[in-house]
A and B are shown apart, each in its own frame.
Chain A
Amino acid sequence: MAVRLAGVSRQYRQRRRSPFGQPLIVDALSGVTLDIPRGARFGIVGESGSGKTTLMRLVAGLDQPTTGTVTVSGTELTGLREGGLAFLRRSLQIVFQDPMGSLDPRMRVRDIIAEPLQVQGIGGIDAAVATALDQVGLPAGAGRRYPHQFSGGQRQRISIARAIAPAPDILLADEAVSALDVTVRSQILALLESIAVQRGLTLIFVSHDLAVVRRVCDHVAVLSGGRLVESGPTERVYSAPEQDYTRELLAAVPTLAKGLAAASTRQAARSSRLR
């Protein structure tokens, strides 16, 4: 297993409203048990407040569970300090939603991609940068330029290049295509998929967008209100959801077929009214 969560809960304490009141405890994640197999393209879907970001932070070792254990590549993260997490800082890389917010505007692209390699003490930086740029479909000359000189889709390619350059085992994509329009989105999805396959990576794809998850992932877990609603192979969950919440979520997704059916009905009603 690439990642194993066993009975993971994360509680946050909210500030007291009055000096005499009890602090409010918020359960961001409650009793989640989940296995993410090595080499899987694993989707985590849920709406705002479902706990998907909390789960992602726990897997990335950016936060600790209140109870339960998180194990990544066979090492339990619970109780590890930054030194103990060093393996994770190389073997797990993240692609965030907003590339402009996650790329330093004052650094050249080459330096942005090289920085994690320098920090990790990985050699052969120039070759690794060139390979990463090539793999995300950017020209070698892109390394000399700055982030603002690229379009949104190209910047997301830079983020992906930075994430894959240290040769991670796990790539975590957090709403990585949510800020992109449909054409660029489909290109970036195809890129993430092909990189995951070529490099044999475990891809953990966190998104609110069910359609995008279905396109990329072979497994999916649905979260709601901090709980795991259901998980399984993507096609099974999407074609035969076991839980009402999953059905409700799927029914709410606008699709072209549903939209066109509604448009045809309205068109027929209009023309009969005009006649």
Chain B
Amino acid sequence: MNQSARNLVTVEHLTISAGRTALVHDVSFVIERDERLGIIGASGSGKTLTSMAVAGLLPDGLEAAGSVRLEGVDIDLVSGSERRLARVRGLRIGTVFQEPMTALNPTMTIGRQVAEVMIRHHTRTRRGARATTLDLLAATGLADPGRMSKSYPHQLSGGQRQRVVLAIAIANRPDLLICDEPTTALDVTVQARVLELIAKQSQEVDAALLFVSHDLAVVASICDRVLVMFDGRVVEQGSVVDVLTHPRHPHTRQLLADSDLSGVGETG
């Protein structure tokens, strides 16, 4: 396979601005098929905006230039119309964000929300979607899927909600799974289980992963390659092992130093 055929996502000269203030400057990178790419950076570094642009989810009021192409999709995710983008999101791109409560509809049962993404994209019939929903809930490690599908989001714990969001994200076997701080709001033991699940399920459905986090340890445990963002720019990129063991940019070194809280859990 030649190089360009392996590229699932191609981001070129992506610039995002609010009025005259540029928030993301000239960012270019590719995500290969089956690859797990991490983006790390401090608050305000532009990592979330970059991932939102790849998801075709840039908030209104921001101007974007450059291009984000997804293999096999003939529109640009930066400039495409909302109607066309809506056909890509949920079908070819799944998303998991930090706060599961805001990603779920509080008035709909879990089962309907998982089924909806398949019905809307015509990947399953209504009846087929209902059956697949139970499989998906089971696959994300939720006990008693039958009862779970009749529950509402407020009846679930944070970890259970994030599993439901993941079930929705992978329902249509997307090519790309975007996770933005998916475990930041969770307890450590729950975080470990959800991370394992994200790694396992993305592999199961052959999805590439774009994983955004400020937590270097989490990114190292899940990603192959990493981009370091600072002040709206990519200041360094490479394999996780190279970048985090031989950081070249001073900002990467700073992030590493700040993350080092004297190695808890290494002796324990």
A: residues with CB less than 8 A from B are 47-48, 152, 181-186, 208-212, 214-215, 238-239, 241, 246-260, 262-264, 266-267, 270
Contacts and interface: CB of A to CB of B under 8 A. Distances in A.
Interface string B77-109: 000000000000000000000000000000000
A240 to B, nearest CB: 8
A149 B105 CA distance: 34
B74 interface: no
Interface residues of B, number: 42
The 4 closest A-B pairs by CB, nearest first: A259-B220, A250-B268, A259-B221, A253-B265
B64 interface: no
B239 to A, nearest CB: 6
Given A215-B262, A259-B222, A260-B240, 13 more contacts: A47-B190, A182-B42, A182-B259, A210-B265, A212-B261, A214-B261, A248-B189, A251-B192, A254-B191, A254-B215, A254-B218, A258-B217, A258-B266
B216 A259 contact: yes
A258 B244 CA distance: 12
Given A47-B190, A208-B187, A255 B217 contact: yes
A187 to B, nearest CB: 8
Contacts of A255: 217, 263-266
A15 to B, nearest CB: 15
Given A252-B192, A259-B219, A181 B268 contact: no
Nearest to B45: A181
Contacts of B223: 263
B62 interface: no
* Residue in A248, A252, A258, A262 with the greatest tally of chain B CB atoms within 10 Å: A252
Contacts of B267: 238-239
